[in-house]
Amino acid sequence: MTMSRTRAVSRIFIYLILIAGSIVMLFPFAWLLRSSFMSTAQIFIFPPEWIPRPFEWRNYTDALTIVPFGRYFLNTMTIELFAVTGVVLTSAMAGYSFARLKWPGRNMMFGLVLSALMMPYAVTLIPTFTLWKSLGAINTYLPLIIPAWFGGGAFNIFLLRQFFSTIPKDLDEAAYMDGANPLTVLWRILVPLSMPAIIVITIFTFIGTWNDFLGPLIYLSDGDKYTLALGLASFKGMYNAQWGYLMAASTAVVAPIVLLFFVAQRYFIEGITLTGIKG
C-alpha cells in the first residue's frame, strides 16, 4: 500500500519534471515554428508575439519554390545514402578492431585516429582541398562521401569502441568455439547487442550530413549539385535576410530529421541488449 503510494508520488514527480523540462526545451523550436508563419514585421515585434496574425502560409509556398528544394533534397539524400552506409560499416569494423582484437600498434593507431578531431579544420581545409583537386574530385560528391568509407570519422569509431568494450567477452569466445570468425562475431553478436549505439551513429551521421554547410560549399561549384543546407543559407544575404522565408524553409528542412529521430529513438529500449540474451 505505502509502497505503491510512494511509487505513485514519484511517478507524478517524474512527469512534472519531464513536462516542465519539455516546455523549456520546446522553446527554440516553437520560436522557429511561429516565426515561419509570420511576416518579417511581426517576427521582430517586441515583446514577441506567439500567434501569427495573419498566418503567412505564403512563406512556405514561396520559400520552397524560390529555391529548388526538391532537387537539393535529392542531392542531399544521394550523399546521405552513401555516407551513412559507409560510416556504419567501416566504423563498426574499426570500432570492433580497436575494442576487441589485439594487434601490434593498435593503441597508438587509435590515438592517431582520435587526434584527427583535435586539429581545427580551418587550417587543414586548404591541403585537403588540394588533395581532392589532385584526384580530380572537385565539384563532385566524392570528397563528401569517400571519407565515410574510410572509418567514418574518429567520433564514430571511438563511440562504437566504447560500446563494444562493454559486452562480455565470453560471448565471443563461445561463438569462436562454434567455429565462427570475427566477422560473424561482429555481425551476429556485437552489432545486434550494440543496436542503440549503431542507431546513435546513424542518426548523428545523417544529421551531420544533412546540416553540413562548409563541405558542400567548398567542394561544389555547380548550383545543380547544391544541398539543402546551402539552399537554406541563400535566404540570408550580405545586408539583409528574408526572415519569413528563412524560417519557413528552416522548419521544412528540420521537420524530416525530427521525424527521423522520433522513429529511431524507439531502438533505445532495454531488452534488445544484454538482458534478453543472458537472462
Partner 1 sequence: MVAYRRKWLVWFTAVCLLVATACSGNGSSGAEGGEGEAGSGKEPVRLKFMYWGSAFEKQAMENMVEAFNKSHPDIVVQAEHVPGDYAAKINTLMATNELPDIAYLSEPLSMKWGAEGRLLDMKPYMELYPQLAERLEQTYYNPAPDKTLGTNTAVEIITLYYNKDLFEEAGVAPPPTKGENAWTWDEFVETAKKLTKDNNGNTPFDPGFNPNSIVQYGVSFPTWIGGWYPFLLSNGGDITNDDGTQYTLDSPEAIEVFQKLQDLMYVHHVAPTATQQQNMPATNVRLQTKKVAMAIDGQWALLDFASTKMNFGMGVLPKFKEPKTIVLGSPTVIFANTAHPDEAIRFYLYHNDPKQVDLYAKGLWMPLEEKYYTDPAEIAYWTDNEAHPPEYKDAVIDFTLNYAGRSPMYFLKNMAEIEPVINAALDKLWTNKEPAEKVLRDLKQEVQPLLQGKYQ
Partner 2 sequence: MERNWGIAFAMPAVLGFFLFVLGPVVASFFFSLTDWNIGGQMNFTGFGNYREMFTEDKLFSKSLFVTLYYSLGSIPLGFLAAFIIALLLNQKVKGLSVFRTIYYMPVLVPSIANSMLWLWLYNPDFGLFNSLLNGIGLPGSQWIYDETMAVPSLILMSTWGVGNAMVIFLAGLQGVPGHLYEAVEVDGGGALRKFWHVTLPSMTPTIFFNVVMGTIGTLQVFDQAYVMTNGGPNNATLFYIYYLYRTAFSESEMGYAAALAWVLFLIILALTALVFRSSKFWVYYEGEGR
Positions that interact with partner 1 (CB under 8 A): 40-41, 43-46, 66-67, 78, 82, 86, 89, 122, 125-126, 129-130, 133, 137-142, 145-146, 149, 181, 183, 213-214, 217-218, 221-226, 230-231, 233-243, 245
Contact between 217 and partner 2 (CB under 8 A)?
no
Contact between 187 and partner 2 (CB under 8 A)?
no
The count of residues interacting with partner 2 (CB under 8 A) is: 102
Least separation in angstroms between CB 75 and partner 2: 19
Question: Exposed, middle or buried by CB within 10 Å (0-12, 13-18, 19+), for 219?
Answer: buried
Q: Which is nearer to partner 1, 141 or 210 (CB)?
A: 141
Contact 161, 238 (CB under 8 A): no
Least separation in angstroms between CB 100 and partner 1: 16
The set of cell numbers assigned to 40 is 518579417
**Residues facing 241 on adjacent strands:** 236
Indicate which of partner 1, partner 2, none lies near residue 115 (CB less than 5 to 8 Å, by partner kind).
partner 2
Contact between 252 and partner 2 (CB under 8 A)?
no
Contact between 137 and partner 2 (CB under 8 A)?
no
Contact between 98 and partner 2 (CB under 8 A)?
yes
- By CB under 8 A, name the one of 168, 173, 174, 223 that touches partner 2: 168
Alpha helices in the chain (DSSP H): 2-36, 40-43, 58-66, 69-100, 106-115, 121-134, 142-145, 154-165, 169-177, 182-184, 191-193, 195-211, 214-219, 228-233, 243-264, 274-278
Least separation in angstroms between CB 186 and partner 2: 8
How far does Cα 150 stand from its chain's mean position? 18
**CA Rg value for the chain:** 24
Contact 209, 85 (CB under 8 A): no
- By CB under 8 A, name the one of 1, 3, 51, 122 that touches partner 2: 122
Contact between 262 and partner 2 (CB under 8 A)?
yes
- By CB under 8 A, name the one of 72, 158, 206, 245 that touches partner 2: 158
C-alpha distances out from residue 65 to 108, 142, 209, 217, 270, Å: 52, 28, 23, 21, 44
